[in-house]
Structure formats: C-alpha cells, structure tokens
C-alpha cells in the first residue's frame, strides 16, 4: 500500500538533513515575519467573527484565515501578528499564529509522510506557534475576551501545540470534534477537521488509506453546498480528492478556487494537480503558468521568498507541456529554471533535487527523453552536467538510452557502466541506498541494451518488468520517473510487430497519464 504524496517530499527527504517542506507550498518562515502587514487583494474572502475592539484587527484576522487556507503560512502569520498588534487583548490572532507558524497547516497525509521519513521533527518556528497558543489561552481566560466557540478553537490548537502531547494531530482532531458537537455546522471547524483527518489514497489502486480519507470527502462535499464561496473549501476539495478514483469531481473546485483566490501562487497552482492527473493538460498548463506569473511578482518583492515553490510549479508546467507534446514550450520552461542558481549550501550538499535549478534540470531530462531527442542528449549542451551523483546517474542513463536507440551498443554499455559508477558514488557520498527510481531506470536501461543487441523478446520482457516496477514507485507530483516505461515498451513492441503487446503497453501508459501525447493516436483511452 502506498500513500499518495507530493512531489519532493520524499525526494527532498532523501536530499536534505532538515526537512524544509516539500516545495508544494512556500515553506514556513524560520524567521518571524516583520510588520506592518497590508490588506492584500486576491486573498479570498473568509470571515470568522472574533471578540475584538478593533474592526481593523478583525479585517487582518480574516485575511490571515484566508491565507492560512491557501497554506501561505508566512503571510498568514504576518496578518495575524498585525491583528494582534491592533488589539493586543484579543486571543484569536494568537490562535492564528499558533495555527500557522509551525508550517504544518496542511493535509494530514502530508504530515504523516514527512513524519514517516524524518520522524517527528520540530522546526525552530514551532517555538513561535507554541508561545502563541499559550498566549491565546491566557488571553481567553480574561472575562469577556473570548466566546465559548473561540475558547474551543483555542483549546484545540493549544492541544496540538502542547510539547508533551504524544499525538498532536489527534489531539487537535479531538478538539475539533468537541467543538462541532457543541456548535454543529460551524464551517471553519468542519474545514479544519477535514484537513486534519485527510489521509489520501493508495497507489496504484486509489483506495482510501484510512477512514479519514472518506470522512474528509463527505465533509467537503457537504461544505460545497453550505459554503460554496469559501476558498478553503475548494482548496481542500482538491487535496481531498487528488489521487482518488473520483479526482474529476474536483474539477468545479479547481475552476472556482482560482477565481476566488487570484493572488496566491499556491492557489493558482493547485488546480493544475487535478487537471494533470485527469488528462486536462492544457488547463494544467494554464494553472501553472498563471501561478508562475503571480509567483515571480512575489519573488521580486521579498528577498527571503525563496524559489523552491516556483521551481516545483514551473517543473510541473514543463511536465504538462511534455506530456501534451509541446516540446519547445517544455524546453523553455526547463531553461527558465536552469537559470536559477543554487545557494552555497545547496551546491555543497551531497544530494538534492528540490532546488529550482535541479527541478529545471530534471524537467530538461524528462523532455529530451520523452521526445527521444537522442542527438540533443548526446550533444551534452542542452542537458548540462549537474555535478551530483544522482544527476550524473540520470545523465549517463539518458546517454545509454540515446546510444542504444541510435545503434551504438558499445557506447551504450560504456554509459551503463558510468551509470553504475555514479550510483556507487551516490552511495558513498550519501550513505544511503540507491534511489528506487534509479533502480527502475537500470531495469529499463537493460531493456534498451537488449533491444540494441537485437534481442527483442528479452527486451520486451525487461520493459514489462520495468514498467511494473515504475508503477509501484511512490507517487510524486510531478512524477520523478521521466515518463512511463510503457511508452518505449509500446514502441519496442510495435517495432517487433507485436500488436497485442504494444496495445497493452500503450493502454497502461494512458492509465497512468490520460491523454499522453506520446501514445499513438488510436490507442483506446483506458478511462
């Protein structure tokens, strides 16, 4: 059973000692945001009435909640801090800081996956979240400063931020259930509960990981009726439905979310996840391109904004272009990211895939391999050397495929040897086992080598095995295998005149990536 997760969560886990997030949302700020905050356009409209003497504090508080629901932790914290500055006696702005400062306001399945890889880690910013929870509790104890409802919100987050709590997420869930028992139908609480019980779906069979997966979907379907203009509802629908058999049900929310929240990169980006996994490549491209435009603006304004989320977004854009058959556009997107420089720590790291530069590098590799641009791969110019063992392994893999497919078996074998040497280097430098996707790559490379030697039956068998292994890889977005093995497997079967095998292979490719432009037209769509 495999859990649906996001892009670089696992890969970043392998690459960095300290998890800094998964790039799918801008990471939480290690530094407390500075004031003043501003009322920003395009954040989405949310209102949660709080006890305050300041209408302006209420306004910043509402903005913070809206930003929280788009996982923009840094700006949400800034808004909550502004609200607290405007009304220092109001407890709920501190509730907001407690909710977001730790950077863990995100779907439960993402939290579970990060914990599984890193163990429970406490980022430095968690100290701010814990201090804020304590402050909220203290302020709410003053007579008339907090309603019963507010006290229950505060109690839930205080339980999550209790350093002695063994299962903080479950403590929060318990608090939310208690709140909803006392205040049935409370929209914000239902949303918070849905996010924190959302456990995702397995791959490749797309079954609920836990009961929470299904309960979250039920809550969200109810909220779509009850609060159709709430941006958080549509955002959480996207997360709650992704990776399921009914991902298409999130299409209306994809459309609505990007209309409600027009100025947060993650909000513009997220619909692309659903669109790309359901074959709506051009809609995915629009989502990612819109997010990129918006994100470049924020990056230009804030020195510490970072480029990780932009890297993820544009990498996904390049991927969508590649699957849709838009070679030039995919190359252009990859080149943009290759133009980003890594910082000194990233450059010195033994492994790394999450930087904007590294994501651009992989996007370039994917595009060249998916379009079988063998001469460009062998030319060494479009795919520059990124001097890390993981990327060197991929580069030699691509060159082995290029030589094998252009009739130079001897050089293909040389490159296969360099691939193995790079992996040995990887193990020596990182003290970790080979990345599983590179083990699959080795299997696929063997198939190409057999094909180059004219051993077609053996090659087809190896392609089939590699395809099977590839489909078992941990699901990442965008995929961290360059393209489905079923694509070259199907083409090899065509060359061998084995129509039934090619039909099966291409059907598998379409099951993995609906409307994959690299599958010959006429192949029946799997769904």
Partner 1 sequence: MLFAKSYAVDGIVVAVDPAARTMLVSHREIAKYMSAMMMPFRVEDAEELKGLHPGERVRFELVVLKDRTVARHIRPTGQADGAIPPPAGKLEIGAELPDFVLTDQNGRAVHTSAWRGKVVAIDFIYTRCPLPDVCPRLSANFAMLQRKFAETDLVLVSVTVDPDYDTPKVLTEYARRWAAGPQWTFLTGDVAPLAKALGEVYWADEGSIGHNSTTTIIGRDGRVAAVLDGSNFRVDQLAHVVRQKLEGHR
Using CB under 8 A, which of the segments 173-181, 208-216, 342-350, 396-404 binds partner 1?
342-350
Nearer to partner 1, 428 or 499 (CB): 428
Selected binder of partner 1 within 1, 181, 225, 348 (CB under 8 A): 348
Selected binder of partner 1 within 3, 7, 9, 26 (CB under 8 A): 26
Whole-number minimum distance, CB 34 to partner 1, in Å?
A: 8
| 514 near partner 1 (CB under 8 A) | no
CB atoms within 10 A of CB 499: 10
Residues 6+ apart with CB under 8 A from 65: 46, 48, 76, 96, 188
Binding letters toward partner 1, positions 127-166, x by CB under 8 A: x---------------------------------------
| 299 near partner 1 (CB under 8 A) | no
Nearer to partner 1, 127 or 382 (CB): 127
Longest dimension (CA), the chain: 84
Written as one string, the DSSP assignment of 443-463 is HHHHHHHHHHTT-HHHHHHHH
| Nearest to 450, CA basis, from 401, 503, 398, 377 | 401
Whole-number minimum distance, CB 126 to partner 1, in Å?
A: 10
Binding letters toward partner 1, positions 27-56, x by CB under 8 A: xxxxxx-x----------------------
E strand spans, 248-291: none
Using CB under 8 A, which of the segments 26-34, 190-198, 377-385, 490-498 binds partner 1?
26-34
| 271 near partner 1 (CB under 8 A) | no
Residues 6+ apart with CB under 8 A from 243: 4, 200, 201, 203, 206, 277, 475
Using CB under 8 A, which of the segments 225-233, 341-349, 367-375, 494-502 binds partner 1?
341-349
Helix, strand and coil content of the chain, in percent to the nearest 5, comes to 65, 0, 35
| 382 near partner 1 (CB under 8 A) | no
C-alpha 109/C-alpha 169 separation (Å) is: 11
Nearer to partner 1, 53 or 343 (CB): 343
Binding letters toward partner 1, positions 4-23, x by CB under 8 A: -------------x--x---
Cβ–Cβ < 8 Å for 366, 394: no
| 300 near partner 1 (CB under 8 A) | no
Backbone angles phi, psi at 11, to 5 degrees: -70, -40
Selected binder of partner 1 within 93, 102, 243, 306 (CB under 8 A): 306
# chain residues binding partner 1, by CB under 8 A: 27
H/E element, 317: helix 308-324
Cβ–Cβ < 8 Å for 181, 156: no
Give the footprint of partner 1 on this chain (CB under 8 A).
17, 20, 26-32, 34, 74, 124-125, 127, 303-308, 343-345, 347-350
């Amino acid at each position: 059973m495999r859990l649906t997760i996001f892009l670089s969560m696992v890969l970043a886990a392998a690459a960095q000692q300290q998890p800094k997030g998964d790039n799918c949302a801008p990471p939480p700020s290690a530094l407390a945001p500075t004031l003043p905050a501003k009322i920003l356009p395009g954040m989405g409209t949310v209102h949660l009435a709080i006890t305050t003497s300041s209408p302006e504090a209420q306004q910043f508080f509402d903005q913070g909640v809206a930003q929280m629901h788009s996982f923009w932790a840094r700006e949400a914290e800034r808004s909550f801090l502004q609200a607290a500055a405007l009304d220092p006696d109001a407890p709920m702005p501190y509730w907001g800081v407690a909710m977001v400062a730790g950077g863990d306001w995100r779907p439960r399945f993402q939290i579970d996956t990060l914990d599984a890889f890193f163990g429970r880690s406490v980022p430095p910013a968690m100290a701010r979240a814990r201090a804020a929870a304590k402050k909220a509790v203290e302020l709410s104890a003053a007579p008339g400063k907090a309603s019963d409802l507010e006290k229950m919100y505060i109690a839930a987050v205080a339980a999550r931020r209790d350093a002695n709590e063994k299962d903080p997420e479950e403590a929060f869930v318990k608090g939310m259930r208690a709140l909803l028992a006392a205040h049935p139908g409370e929209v914000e609480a239902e949303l918070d509960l849905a996010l924190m019980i959302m456990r995702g779906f397995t791959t490749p069979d797309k079954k609920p990981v836990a009961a929470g997966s299904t309960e979250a979907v039920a809550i969200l379907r109810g909220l779509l009726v009850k609060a159709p203009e709430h941006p958080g509802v549509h955002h959480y629908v996207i997360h709650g439905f992704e990776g399921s058999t009914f991902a298409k049900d999130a299409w209306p929310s994809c459309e609505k979310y990007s209309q409600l929240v027009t100025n947060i990169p993650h909000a513009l980006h997220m619909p692309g996840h659903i669109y790309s996994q359901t074959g709506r490549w051009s809609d995915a491209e629009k989502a990612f391109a819109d997010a990129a435009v918006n994100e470049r603006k924020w990056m230009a304004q804030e020195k510490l904004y970072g480029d990780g989320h932009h890297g993820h977004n544009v990498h996904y854009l390049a991927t969508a272009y590649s699957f849709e058959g838009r070679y030039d556009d995919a190359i252009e997107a990859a080149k943009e990211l290759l133009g980003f420089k890594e910082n000194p720590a990233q450059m010195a790291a033994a492994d790394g895939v999450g930087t904007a530069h590294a994501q651009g590098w992989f996007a370039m590799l994917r595009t060249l391999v998916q379009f079988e641009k063998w001469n460009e791969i062998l030319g060494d110019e479009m795919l520059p050397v990124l001097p890390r063992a993981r990327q060197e392994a991929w580069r030699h893999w691509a060159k082995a495929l290029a030589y094998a497919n252009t009739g130079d078996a001897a050089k293909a074998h040389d490159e296969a040897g360099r691939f193995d040497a790079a992996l040995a280097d990887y193990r020596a430098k990182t003290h970790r086992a080979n990345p599983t996707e590179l083990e699959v790559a080795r299997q696929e490379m063997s198939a190409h080598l057999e094909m180059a030697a004219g051993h077609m039956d053996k090659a087809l068998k190896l392609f089939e095995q590699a395809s099977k292994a590839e489909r078992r890889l941990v699901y990442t977005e965008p995929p961290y295998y360059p393209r489905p093995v079923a694509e070259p497997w199907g083409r090899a079967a065509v060359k061998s005149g084995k129509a039934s095998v090619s039909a099966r292979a291409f059907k598998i490719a379409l099951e993995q990536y609906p409307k994959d432009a690299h599958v010959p037209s006429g192949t029946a769509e799997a769904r």
